[in-house]
Every structure is written in structure tokens, then in C-alpha cells.
Amino acid sequence: MGTRRIFLKRAGFSTLALSLPFAETLSAMNFERDDKILRVAIMGLGSYGTRVAEAMVNCQRAKLVGVISGTPSKVETWKQKYGIPDKNCYHYDNFDQIKDNPDIDAVYVITPNSLHKPYSIRVAKAGKHVICEKPMALNAAEGQEMVAACKAAGVHLLVGYRMHFEAKTQEVVRQQRAGEFGETLFFQGLSGFRIGDPTQWRLNYELAGGGSMMDIGIYSINGARYMLGEEPTWVTAQEVKTDPVKFKENVDETITFQMGFPSGAVASCLSTYSLNNLDKFFLNGTKGFAEMQPSTGYGPIKAWTNKGPVEAEHITHQTTQMDEMAAIILDGKKPMIPVDGEEGLKDLVIIDAIYKAVKTGEKVMIS
């Protein structure tokens, strides 16, 4: 059987074979147990789920083996495109049955924000590792429930922080930790784009839990933390809304926010759904600086310091992310920048504080 699999792979028959009568047999062969491969089902087959699936084609340690969706036509398309067998296809009502499916190790939850907590907890209770898109939940209380549920189930909870594995980002963080910029006292994070379709779920408070802060703004929050290497102790924030029709109550259009850190460092950040060309990090220290633009887009990332350009090969972020997450789950690898549930929870605590600061107009302390 191993010889047949190698022959089919080398002959390039995978796509053709799936349209033939023995497609189910071929799929079963492809998904045989391999303790060195993390076998993943994707939940939510929208644009980002599609991006992850396409990136996983080139993974060495992670393989797409299942889907969970409420849209039968998408399931059918993915089955044909990725050779996924019927027994690994679920909908939102019955995916708890994955507990009886040994072919699936982990589920990547890529749904609207409000569904992250309930679906992740169901996955954990089914005994499967959880990979959840960011923000991990709607607030810190929900995030804590997720962390507790995954610990109780004995499964990993990882968050889709793809930038934590990006090579140029890691090099800048390495230099900062090595003291090459001296004492880093200032960070600027600009995160935003002009959002389109006003009917999309990202502008629906019940689904998104907010607006730009619950989507693009988290990049500046998270970036400040890993670029400065500290956790903030206070935040202040201000909101600007120019289009109350598109950005309804509790759906933030633009928030500027500031964070203070134990060392005395400060971060000045912007989160917006109204301006393009905002994807920039700037880190300044007593001996040097680092700048990244674009800093969190799908790439290639561009970075330079006071010493010159930061060079590294561009690899699709989600490909690297999924391979590295496989190493975390299967090998116990410790990443340079954490991607676990506790990391996701820290960002949620800050988001809660930012929203409170917007409403009160006061500095909010973070314990």
C-alpha cells in the first residue's frame, strides 16, 4: 500500500483519482495514521478558511483531512479539491461526533468571533486539539472559559497568531531581546483597512463582538507585546466614528489607544476600518530602531533596522504556522513567541480594557 501511495503521488494522480470509483480507497490511504503528521479539520470554509487550506497543501507536518461547514455545496467542493472522504465531513449540528473519528487530531475554528467559544469548547469536549482564529473570544471571561475547558479535556488550545512564526518578525524580536536596540521605550502600531460590504458579519455586533478592534486592531495590541517583550499595565483610548450608519452602536470604526509598560515604555496605536495603507510597526530604542511595513499582511513582510534591511525568505504564513503548530502539539516544541490560550487571553484582557477606556474616558489599569 505504501508503494501505491508513493506511485500515485509521484505520478500526479491525486486530483484525477478523486474522480474515479476508488476515490474513497485513495482517501483512506492518504489519511492513514502517522504520528508525525497533525491531521486537521477546518471549521468554517469562508475566505480565510480557504487561504489556510491552500497553504496547508505545502505543509510538511500538517494535513487537511476534514471539514465542518453549514454549507453543503462548499463541503462538496472541498471534498473534490482536497480528497476528503465523506466520513470526515461534518456540519455544525453533528460535529461532536468527531470524538469517534480517529482520523482527526485537531480542528481549526475559523468562524465569526461569537462562535469561537462555544465551538472550541465542543471540540475540546470531543477530545480534539483546538486551533482558534483570533481574537480567541469576545472577551476575557469567554477566553478564560476556553482555556479551562481545554485544560480539563487535556487538549491543546492554540490561537492563529501566524505572525509569531514569520521569519522577519522573529528576527526583529530576537534583536530586541538581545538588546541590540538598547532600551526599547516606544512602539507604534498602525493597523487598518477600508472595509467594504456593510452587510458582512464583521460589521454585525452579535457576530463580531465589536468592530475594527475585534479584527485588525488586535495586531497592534499583540505586536506591541511581542516587540517590547512586556505586558502593559494601563491603557487609554479614544474612538472616532464618521459613519454611524455603517458602523452601528458598539461597532467601532476607529480607535486610537495607548498602552504603558512596567519599564516606562509606551505604545501608541491605531485600529481602523476607514483607511487603507495602515500596516506598520515601529520600535524605537536607545541604541537603534526597527520598522516594518507591511508588518502583518499576508506578505512579503518588509523590515529594516538602523543597521539595514532584515532579510529572510518569504514563506506563506499559514504554511509555516500549521507546521509549527504541529510541532507544538506533536513534539512539545516551545515557540519563540507563545501561541497558546493564555497568550490569546492576554490580548482579550487588553481589548476589554480598551473598550472600557473608550466608554469612560479614563486610564484603565490592567492587573
> Per mean pLDDT, which range of 11-15, 291-295, 301-305 is the poorest?
11-15
Is the model more confident about 26 or about 257? 257
Do 223 and 352 belong together in one domain? yes
d(CA 110, CA 223): 21
Beta-bridge mates of residue 257: 237, 269
- How many structural domains are present in the chain? 2
pLDDT at 12 over 80: no
Confidence of residue 19 (pLDDT cuts 50, 70, 90): very low
**Domain shared by 137 and 213, yes or no:** no
pTM above 0.75, yes or no: yes
134 is catalytic: yes
- Do 66 and 191 sit in the same domain of this protein? no
For position 128, which CATH number holds? 3.40.50.720
Instruction: Judge if 179 and 123 occupy the same domain.
Output: no
pLDDT band at 31 (very low <50, low <70, confident <90, very high): very low
| pLDDT > 60? residue 182 | yes
pLDDT band at 33 (very low <50, low <70, confident <90, very high): low
* Backbone dihedral angles phi then psi of residue 295, each to the nearest 5 degrees: -110, -25
Q: Are residues 35 and 78 in the same domain?
A: yes
Question: Do residues 233 and 113 share a domain?
Answer: no
How far is residue 326 from each of residues 21, 274, 306, 314, 331, measured CA to CA in Å?
32, 36, 35, 20, 8
Measured between alpha carbons, how far is 122 from 142 in angstroms, rounded to an integer? 14
Q: Are residues 207 and 354 located together in one domain of the fold?
A: yes
Catalytic residue among 219, 226, 273, 355: 219
Q: What is the spatial distance between Cα 142 and Cα 145, in angstroms, rounded to a whole number?
A: 5
Cβ 268 vs Cβ 174: under 8 Å: no
pLDDT tens column, 101-126: 999 999 999 999 999 999 999 999 99
Asked if residue 7 has pLDDT above 80, the reply is no
Per-residue pLDDT tens digits for 38-93: 999 999 999 999 999 999 999 999 999 999 999 999 999 999 999 999 999 999 99
The phi-psi region of residue 6 (left if phi > 0; otherwise alpha if psi is between -120 and 50; otherwise beta) is: alpha
The pLDDT assigned to 32 comes to 52
149 and 198 in a single domain? The answer is: no
Predicted local confidence at residue 35, as pLDDT:
77
Reported as a single tens digit per residue, the pLDDT across 298-352 is 999 999 999 999 999 999 999 999 999 999 999 999 999 999 999 999 999 999 9
pLDDT surpassing 60 at residue 28: no
Q: Strand 308-309 relative to strand 364-365: parallel, antiparallel, unpaired?
A: unpaired
Domain range spanning residue 321? 163-329+337-365
Last residue of a domain, which of 117, 145, 160?
Answer: 160
Q: Determine contact, residues 113/139, Cβ cutoff 8 Å.
A: no
**Shared domain check, 354 and 277:** yes
State the amino acid at position 326 in one-letter form: A
Residue that is last in its domain, among 160, 193, 223: 160
Say if strands 89-90 and 289-292 run parallel, antiparallel, or are unpaired.
unpaired
Question: What CATH number is associated with residue 197?
Answer: 3.30.360.10
Question: CA 120 to CA 108: how far, in whole Å?
Answer: 9
Q: Which of 134, 168, 280, 346 is catalytic?
A: 134
Q: Report long-range pairs for 25-28 (Cβ below 8 Å, ≥24 apart).
A: 26/83, 27/83, 27/84, 27/85, 28/85
User: Is 249's pLDDT higher than 60?
Assistant: yes
Mapped onto helix, strand or coil, the DSSP state of residue 279 is: strand
Query: Do residue 290 and residue 359 come from a single domain?
Result: yes
For residue 152, what are the CA distances in angstroms to 38, 145, 146, 157? 21, 10, 10, 11
| 307 given a catalytic annotation | no
Average pLDDT over residues 218-244: 98
Evaluate if residue 238 carries a pLDDT over 90: yes
Same domain, 250 and 122: no
Which residues on neighbouring strands pair with residue 157, listed in sequence order? Answer: 130
- SS3 for 307-341 is CEECCCCCCCHHHHHHHHHHHHHHHCCCCCCCCEH
H or E segment to which residue 214 belongs = none
pLDDT digits (tens, 9 = 90+) for 87-96: 999 999 999 9
pLDDT at residue 367 in the model: 82
Q: Is the pLDDT of residue 22 over 80?
A: no
pLDDT at position 6 over 50: no
Domain end among 160, 189, 211: 160
Residue 141's CB is within 10 A of a number of other CB atoms, namely 12
Choose the weakest-confidence range: 12-26, 162-176, 245-259: 12-26
- Encode pLDDT of 129-173 as tens digits: 999 999 999 999 999 999 999 999 999 999 999 999 999 999 999
Q: Which residue has the cell 469536549?
A: 125
Do 256 and 281 lie in one domain? The reply is yes
Provide the 10 A C-beta neighbour count for residue 302: 16
